[in-house]
Each structure stands twice: as structure tokens, then as C-alpha cells.
A and B are shown apart, each in its own frame.
Chain A
Amino acid sequence: MKHGLAAFNSDQHNRYSTTASILSKQDRELDEQLNVFQQRLVEFAKVHNKELRESPEFRMKFIRMCASIGVDPISLFDKERHLFDVNDFFYEICVKIIEICRKTKNLNGGVISFDELHKGYFEQFKVQLNDLQKAVEMLETLDGGFEVFCIRGKKFLRSVPNELTNDQARILEVCSILGYASISLLRLNLEWEPVRSDAILKEMVANGLLWIDSQAQGETLYWDPAWIVRSNFA
């Protein structure tokens, strides 16, 4: 029992706490309803798989509806049961790959490793590395400037149209060991003259493929931005 002015406050306090509890209850209920609806939608897709597969128009409308209530189309596909047309699954991956390449272009100059794509973005959707590879193959047929190349056994995807020269690829190869390249490092490993190394390194900086680090001891280092992701998963 409170006395004095405090006695008036308790009632008011109760009123606000009931409002708050009603609001949070409503919030929870809405969440549940949305979850149920999403599940039903996935079930619907499984039952009407055949119709969805046969009528592209129906399929488009269905996918659009899913996207608008927050069901990611990739999560709808079931490779084993060939839900929808199986190619649609890969088309969705293609779209995602293009989006990611666009988004990270200014950071990495348009060169991204398969590891980064997979670990950084696709693993959460249960997309396997070989699904990713198949999708990238489909992208190549579009002739949109996407190209796969290998550096020390690791696959990379290049999404900008300017092709990597042999020399540039070899510099990226050196970078994949320590994270950076430098004039003396290239001289030791590839026996390149400083003039040649300097020209190519500067060009790669201009293209956004490498970042300059002028605070290292002795000489300027040129870093590959792929280092950031590698150190993240190390």
C-alpha cells in the first residue's frame, strides 16, 4: 500500500503496462500468422507443382507473390523433387550472383572468389558450391562479360568486361599467398624488372583490383581486397 502522491501513480502505471502487453501479444500473433501463411504457401507450391511447372504465367505470378510477403524464391525450390522447373532455381541464383557482383564491384574491382560468394552469401540458402558453378556456367552463355578463371587452384569470377591480362593474373596469384604484392616480391618470385611490375601494379590500382598501402616498411605494398574476406573465415 502506497501513501501520499505515490498512491495515485500505481493505477496509471498498470494502464500503460496492459497496453504494452496487448501490443506485444498482437505483434506475436501477427508473426505467427505470417509464418503459417508462408508455410502454407510452400505447401501449396508442392501440391500444385505440376501446374506451376507447366504454366510460366502462373509461375511468375506465384513467385512475385512470394517475394512481396518476404519468402525468398530460393528457399521455395527443392532440387530433389523438382519443385517448379529446376532451371528456375538456377535462374534465381544467377540473379543473386549478378546482384552481389554489382554490390561489391567498388570494393574488389569486379573480381570475386567462389569461396567468398559461397560462404558469404549462398551458404545460408543451402545452395551448394556445385549449384553455384552450374549457375555461373549459365551466366557465361549470356555473354554478359562474366568469366571464370583459376588462381592457384581456386576459382574466381570476373564481372567487369576488361579482361585480365596474363601479368595481372600472375600478380593476383602472388597476392593469394600473403595478401599483397610488391615490386621486390615480384622480382624475387617472377624475376620481373621493377619497371614492368610498377606499370602493371599501378594499372591494377587504377582499375580498382588492388589497394595501395604506403605505410609498410621499406616499400609500397599492393593489397588484394579478397584478403578481407579470407581473414574473416580464417
Chain B
Amino acid sequence: MTEKLPPIYNFPPLYTCQPNVLIREQQLSTWCDLILDFAKTNNAWCMSQEGTVIKDSESSGQSIFRNESIQRSISVPFRDQIWNKMVQSEKAIKSNNGVFFILWRSVDYWSSQILQWFETTGKVNQVVTVYELLEGDETLGWEFHGMHPSLCEESLQKLRDRGRATLLKEQNKIMGVKVV
């Protein structure tokens, strides 16, 4: 899972928090780029605080913060610093249950992709369920196919804020959407 990451991923001191402030800033932003890269190549929408990919609400596979090939791993406090930086620079959203949505594209990008899908397939003014949007055959081949529902909610809310969508809710959960 981590084979395709750039060579800096195997640079041993990357796993030790650097004392020099300037270097540490560089180190943190390197980690942010690595996480984005990792999430994108593995098609991961969601990661645990421990750095594993979460699919179907189960975490699986190895953690990005542990590099077996060079026997190095990130300490817990430094890991939290990396996540803070991710959230601060709007490359991740922390959800209520402690998992992180990785924004290898911005929420704005996703919402405009979804809008584009509605427009090109002529689904404007029709009600489409979130399930259809994310798992249906009609969105196969679109980047947002298979997206995590919570991240999709964020994107749909952007559309609603722009006055382009009405959201249908059931028990406080968005079930469907109508784009106008």
C-alpha cells in the first residue's frame, strides 16, 4: 500500500520529530503530502487516527505511520501534530467519532463534480438518493463514485448553501437530494 510513495517516505529521520522549527514545518508538510498521496493511490476516503485506511467502517491494512522496511514509526504526540496540521491546512476533516476524511480534492471540488454529474446526465429536478449517487451504476467512472456518505453530505451541504440543492432528510441523516 505504501510502495508507490516517493523516496522521502523511506528517509529514516522523517519518523523522528525534528527539533529545528523550520525543518519541522517542512517535515509536517511532507507528511501531509504523503498522507494525501497515500489516500489517493489507495482510493481511501477515510483514515483512522492510527493511520490505517477505513473501509466499510472497519480499519484495515498497514498504518502509513509505520514503515516496516526501515523499522521506523511515528510517536503518538507527533502523529497528533501531523493530524492537526492536516486539519488546519484543510486537507482533512475530523469527524465526530475520531476518524479523518482525507481531502485529496477539496470539498468544493467534490460538490462541483456532483453538480456536473447531475447536469450532464439530465438528473436536474429529480430526486436522487445518496446511495444511488455514490454506489449506483450511473456514477461509475466518476471520481466521487464510492465516496464516504459523510463526506458526500459535506459536499451536498455546499450545494445547498449555494441554493442549488434541496436535501431530503430522515432521522437527521441526508437520504436524498434534488438539484435545481
Q: Are B122 and A213 in contact (CB under 8 A)?
A: no
Range for the number of chain A residues in contact with chain B: 20 to 34
- Which A residues touch B72, using CB under 8 A? 213, 215
Contact A16/B120 with A107-B26, A215-B72 known, Cβ cut-off 8 Å: yes
Number of interface residues of B (CB under 8 A): 22
A-binding segment of B6-14, B40-48, B52-60, B156-164: B6-14
Residues of chain A with a CB closer than 8 A to B19's CB: 205-206, 212
- Interchain CB contact under 8 A, A216 and B12: yes
Within 8 A of A (CB), among B1-24: 6-8, 10-16, 18-20, 22-23
Give Cα A215 to B18, complex, Å.
12
Report yes or no: A223 in contact with B122, Cβ–Cβ below 8 A.
no
**Could you say which residues of chain B place their CB within 8 Å of the CB of A215?**
12, 15-16, 71-73
Can you give 18 A-B contacts (C-beta < 8 A)? A9-B122, A12-B122, A106-B22, A106-B25, A107-B23, A205-B19, A207-B20, A211-B11, A211-B23, A212-B19, A213-B15, A214-B16, A215-B16, A216-B12, A221-B12, A227-B11, A228-B8, A232-B7
Q: A205-B19, A215-B12, A221-B12 are in contact. List 15 more A-B contacts (CB 8 A).
A: A12-B122, A109-B23, A205-B18, A205-B20, A206-B20, A211-B23, A212-B13, A213-B16, A215-B16, A215-B73, A223-B11, A223-B12, A228-B8, A228-B11, A231-B7
